[in-house]
Amino acid sequence: MHVQAHVGLALPKIIAHFPGVPAFFFVSGFLIYASYLNAPGKRYFENRCLRLFPGLIVVTIAGAFVVVIAHGWNDLFDNIKIYGIWFFAQITLGQAYNPGLFRDVGVGVINGSLWTLTTEILFYLSVPCIVWMERRYRFTVIVLLVLSFAIYATGPSVFTVPIYTKKTFYNIIQLTPLAWGWMFAAGILSVKYFDSLRCYLPYMPLVIIPTVMMIIFGKGLLFSSYGNNLGLIYFFCYIGMVLWFAFVMPFVRLPFDFSYGAYVWHMPAINLLLVIGKPSALMSILLTYSFAMLSWFLVEKPALKLKSQSMKPI
């Protein structure tokens, strides 16, 4: 979808009805909650850091290099403070920060898709608190889901006052689990009630029927099917298909995992091609997965060897 938007790639319109971000947040809720239950405490935080930050640091260096290619080395030396602040923001919780100096490079944001990583990290930090709360209050996750969806539903019309340049308070909330937490919560509930859910998984393809109806006719907070802002009912149909693909469809166990690499590298790859004046959909995809492959074998895999096992087979 990002290649389509920034480089030019003809894709069927139906793809926009199956967006990556909601599925990403749901799967994260499922896996990270299960991971914490199996490896709580210090080991949980060590594992999360080893999975995220080695690859993130390297791709951030590469992103700075893309800017240098566009502006020249003197730009780095003349604006070292701006580069330093941006670099620190990218490898902590400020992935959405984009200095004006970079806005003439490529698409205008070096790695804009990483706003979701800010939300992810904040969710990772909240999981121990959620587990602590649900041990004392049985319906904690359900209550959090309802509250988050309420913010998601009302925020765009309630929090409309600009607080930073043209950004509203809701724009800031959208970088946190406050707006997207209900999607993470759905993943948590799928883990908590997986034994009960398992017997229904073979029938999940039946949700295609209401899914198609909502794609054709659906709109609003319950039935919207387009982009990241999905309706509640459409979202639950969507994740039903995700669960079916994950646990019913046959799978091939691969000795590598390029998913994180593709996630963090695709926008720098697109920006690089735009900077050198060679925009190409095919090259964007090839370059992305080439970088993802190098990231896996040279950075991520060595880091993961230090990781304590935190997941048990289901």
Tens digits of per-residue pLDDT, 60-111?
999 999 999 999 999 999 999 999 999 999 999 999 999 999 999 999 999 9
Q: What whole-number distance in Å separates Cα of residue 210 and Cα of residue 290? A: 39
- pLDDT for residue 167: 84
- At residue 251, φ and ψ (nearest 5 deg) are -135, 160
- pLDDT for residue 308: 67
Nearest to 69 by CA among 277, 240, 212, 221: 277
Contacts of 113 (CB under 8 A, 6+ apart): 2, 263, 266, 267
Evaluate whether 17 touches 225 at the Cβ level (below 8 Å).
yes
Q: What whole-number distance in Å separates Cα of residue 26 and Cα of residue 18? A: 13
Band of the pLDDT at 10, cuts 50, 70, 90? Answer: confident
Q: What is the largest CA-CA distance in the chain?
A: 62
What is the pLDDT averaged over residues 220-230?
A: 94
pLDDT > 80? residue 187: yes
- pLDDT for residue 31: 96
- pLDDT for residue 197: 95
Strand partners of residue 164: 167
Q: What whole-number distance in Å separates Cα of residue 236 and Cα of residue 60? A: 35
C-alpha torsion angle, residues 63, 69, 71, 75 (rounded to 10): 70
Evaluate whether 62 touches 220 at the Cβ level (below 8 Å).
no
Strand partners of residue 168: 162
Nearest to 238 by CA among 20, 1, 11, 34: 20
Query: In sequence order, which ranges of the chain are alpha helices (DSSP H)?
Result: 2-6, 20-38, 42-71, 73-78, 80-90, 115-134, 140-158, 169-173, 177-192, 194-198, 208-217, 220-223, 232-247, 259-275, 281-295, 301-304
Q: What whole-number distance in Å separates Cα of residue 264 and Cα of residue 278? A: 21
Is the full-model pTM beyond 0.75? yes
- pLDDT for residue 49: 95
pLDDT > 90? residue 307: no
